Amino acid sequence: MIATALHSPEHPEHGGAASAPEWKEKLRDGTTVLIRPIAGTDVDLERRFIERLSPQSRRYRFLGEMTTPDRALLDKFTHPDPAHEAAFIALVADGAEKREVGVARFSADPSEVQCECAVAVADDWQGKGLATILMRHLIEIARQRGYARMYSIDARENENMCALAEFLGFERVPDPQDGSQVLHSLNLKAAGA
């Protein structure tokens, strides 16, 4: 589905436009989520998602303390630059509203050779395979865009992220600048990666 959606003539940029394709994915427990590129109209969804994360999940995602993101950060998160970034959100019905339960994104570094990625899943949705689904979509897009490497900087104690990264084929090394962090790196050009 990804290849068809990304190469569709209606969406050549595939970077977060509200009209970009969306699709459904079934999780391990049988529930279904809607996944689509994040859009500028998702500011409130993204704010509520971040605020609902547990303090530990927010610390793991942002490598520091945060309760409520400021408007500048929300604007950055919901307006990815289609030439250098990609971001997907996972949504479920919550009464009459949609609720964001996961997000994954990458941003290219200035060299345009590699991109940094991040993924976060609502605490009550962890362990269902959602992070894996979101990351696989990001990895595929990064490959299609020609990046050589994808990496993330994570808290060393974040065992779920370390397990996910290993499962997806990322290599892990200690962060030479911060002993409380690790660097996960995936060679996107390697055969079978």
Q: Over range 39-56, report the average pLDDT.
A: 96
d(CA 122, CA 131): 10
What is the identity of the amino acid at 18?
A
| Whether 175 contacts 153, CB under 8 Å | yes
**pLDDT for the residue numbered 80:** 96
d(CA 82, CA 16): 7
**pLDDT for the residue numbered 13:** 38
Q: Over range 28-51, report the average pLDDT.
A: 96
Confidence of residue 186 (pLDDT cuts 50, 70, 90): very high
Coil, strand, or helix at residue 175? coil
> How far apart are the two ends of the chain, measured CA to CA in Å?
19
Portion of the chain with pLDDT greater than 70, in percent: 88
Nearest to 147 by CA among 186, 89, 120: 186
pLDDT exceeds 80 at position 3 = no
**What residues contact residue 30 under an 8 Å CB cut-off, 6+ apart?**
none
97-108 and 114-121: which strand pairing? antiparallel
Burial (Cβ within 10 Å: 0-12, 13-18, ≥19) of residue 131 = buried
pLDDT tens-digit readout, 62-117: 999 988 999 999 999 999 999 999 999 999 998 889 999 999 999 999 888 999 99
pLDDT exceeds 60 at position 139 = yes
